[in-house]
Structures are given as structure tokens and as C-alpha cells.
Amino acid sequence: MLYEEPADAFVAGFVGENNLLPGTVVGPGEEPGECRVRLDVGLEVEARAADAGGPGSRCLVAVRPERVAVAAVPAREFGEEGAALAAMVMDSIFLGDHVRLKVSLGDRGEIVAKRPAAGPLPPPPGTQVSVAWQAANARAFRLESG
């Protein structure tokens, strides 16, 4: 499906909203077709290697907002089960069928997450949270230099 498996970063952005996190490919992932990326925000993650290039290649890791998990628990580093980014909820907007969360990574940028409105209440603005996603829900695309 084009929405879930875009061929490149342009198509990913054209077909829907994404969080685009720059990083560097550091090696293969644990599963075939995945790579390990050291994000510029300081965390190593795994992602499906769409066209990420080999080790040392600059890339963008694309994650759809509905695939981002936000929890009011402390973040852990890569290599530990449940690796996540430390963040803070900046805004929470009710949009009928879902709640849109804007989450700050401090001076390292922000991430948008979507949660179903019918689920548990999201953490309120000002809450320290962990942000994570599954490798199968992230795609790494080569960052074109230019």
C-alpha cells in the first residue's frame, strides 16, 4: 500500500503527514530489510530501509503520526527493551475522531502523534513523556545532498 510503504521521502510526504527525523545509517537492523539509524536527536532506532543507503549514509526516518506511541514514562536508550525519545507534551488538540499531540524534543525539534479520541486521555501539556514507534512502522530514506 502506497500510504504505508512509500518508495521515497517525496511520496511519503505527498501521500500523508509524516514525522521526518534526520540521521545516519549505522548498520543493518535485526530483521531483514531493516537498518539501524543514529538519529540526530541522539537515539538509535531501527527502520525499514526503503532507500536509506549503506552505513554512513545520511537519511530521513519517516514515521506517521498515528504510529507514534506517547507514554508518561521515563525514556530508555537503544539496546534496552522499549527504547524511546525523552520529550514533553506541548499541545493537545481534540479533532473529533482523534487527538493530535505536539511533542517537543527540546532544542532537537518536535514530533506529532495522533491518538484515537475514544481511548484513554492523553498526557496533558507540560507532561514529560517517552515517544517511540515500532521499526516496522518507520521507513528510512536517503537524504539527498544538494
Domain locations in the chain as residue ranges? 9-142
Q: Give 10-residue mean pLDDT values along the chain (146 residues).
A: 65 76 93 92 88 89 93 66 81 93 90 91 92 92 73
Instruction: Supply the pLDDT for residue 56.
Output: 93
What is the architecture, at CATH level 2, of domain 9-142?
Beta Barrel (2.40)
Q: Note the pTM of the prediction, 2 decimals.
A: 0.84
Instruction: Supply the pLDDT for residue 36.
Output: 94
Cα 20 from Cα 12, distance rounded (Å): 10
| Residue 82: alpha-carbon gap to chain centroid | 14
Length of the chain: 146
Measured CA angle at 111 (ends 44, 48), to 5 deg: 45
